[in-house]
Amino acid sequence: QQPVQSPQAVILREGEDAVINCSSSKALYSVHWYRQKHGEAPVFLMILLKGGEQKGHEKISASFNEKKQQSSLYLTASQLSYSGTYFCGTEGTDKLIFGTGTRLQVFP
Amino acid sequence: DGGITQSPKYLFRKEGQNVTLSCEQNLNHDAMYWYRQDPGQGLRLIYYSQIVNDFQKGDIAEGYSVSREKKESFPLTVTSAQKNPTAFYLCASSISELLAGVYNEQFFGPGTRLTVL
């Protein structure tokens, strides 16, 4: 039931765009996104809820396709600070189940 | 400032020894979680607790034990039964999904890096 993330890794130059996908084998009510910088704790980015409601703290956009059971995170005009590993989290029984992560590296 | 703390940051253990990792939060969250992270891997759930004096096994609970005697504290003991304990351990907390009706954001501590010598 672990969500599958793609791609596994992305390398970008500053200013380029990236899309990170998260797919689940089961119907979803919500999807979480977190970012973890190397050696640090994951930090919450946003929650996408069924019906379109979105809770977030940064200027990063995302979509949630309920029919496809998929969420996508859009990173536009990437900055060096965007580097890190991005995890999606989907609902399990009483808990979140995190994907294996997508490693994003942004170079000058 | 409210937050979640873990100690120690680095921990070294000899094979066969039990060791306890501390996790404390002052966010007044009911739910707390322990995750294990191996290099290049995602977050795997060890144990979680939604309320004081109650906790459930996660996906990889074997070789670990927890207690939840206080709302603020959720210590994790890595026992000698855990055959490969070297990893990065993360503690998190959240508003309990049982009350909010939706899975709320999790706040993570800085982590403890455990190395078995």
Condensed to tens digits (0 to 9), the pLDDT of residues B55-75 reads 999 999 999 999 999 999 999
Give the 3-state secondary structure of residue B51: strand
Interval B83-109 mean pLDDT: 84
* Interchain pair B103, A96: CB under 8 A: yes
* Interchain pair B106, A87: CB under 8 A: no
Considering only CA atoms, which of B8, B81, B91, B11 is closest in space to residue B43? B91
Residue A8 and residue A17 in contact, taking contact as beta carbons nearer than 8 Å: no
Which residues from B are below 8 Å from A29, CB to CB?
102
pLDDT at A30 over 80: yes
- Range scoring the smallest mean pLDDT among A44-48, B39-43, B68-72: B39-43
* Shortest distance, CA B42 to any CA of chain A (angstroms): 4
DSSP A4-71: EEE-SEEEEETT--EEEEEE-SS--SEEEEEEE-TTS--EEEEEEETTS-EEESSS-EEEEETTTTEE
- Residue A58: pLDDT band with limits 50, 70, 90: low
The pLDDT mean for chain B works out to: 91
Interface with chain A: mutation pick from B5, B59, B103, highest number of A CBs within 10 Å: B103
Interval A90-94 mean pLDDT: 77
Report residue A98 as tokens: 């995190």
Q: Supply φ then ψ for residue A60, to 5 degrees.
A: -125, 135
pLDDT value for B102: 65
pLDDT at A50 over 80: no
pLDDT value for A91: 80
* Shortest distance, CA A12 to any CA of chain B (angstroms): 19
Q: How far apart are CA A4 and CA A80, in angstroms?
A: 25
pLDDT value for A59: 64
* Interchain pair B42, A101: CB under 8 A: yes
pLDDT at B39 over 70: yes
- Residue B36: pLDDT band with limits 50, 70, 90: very high
- Residue A64: pLDDT band with limits 50, 70, 90: confident
Which residues from A are below 8 Å from B45, CB to CB?
95, 97
Higher pLDDT, B70 or B105: B70
- Could you tell me if B105 lies within 8 Å of chain A, comparing CB atoms? yes
Interval B11-29 mean pLDDT: 94
Residue A17 and residue A74 in contact, taking contact as beta carbons nearer than 8 Å: yes
- Could you tell me if A91 lies within 8 Å of chain B, comparing CB atoms? yes
pLDDT at B107 over 60: yes
Interval A36-45 mean pLDDT: 91
> What is the percent of chain B where pLDDT is above 70?
94
* Shortest distance, CA B79 to any CA of chain A (angstroms): 24
- Residue A57: pLDDT band with limits 50, 70, 90: low
- Could you tell me if A55 lies within 8 Å of chain B, comparing CB atoms? yes
- Residue B99: pLDDT band with limits 50, 70, 90: low
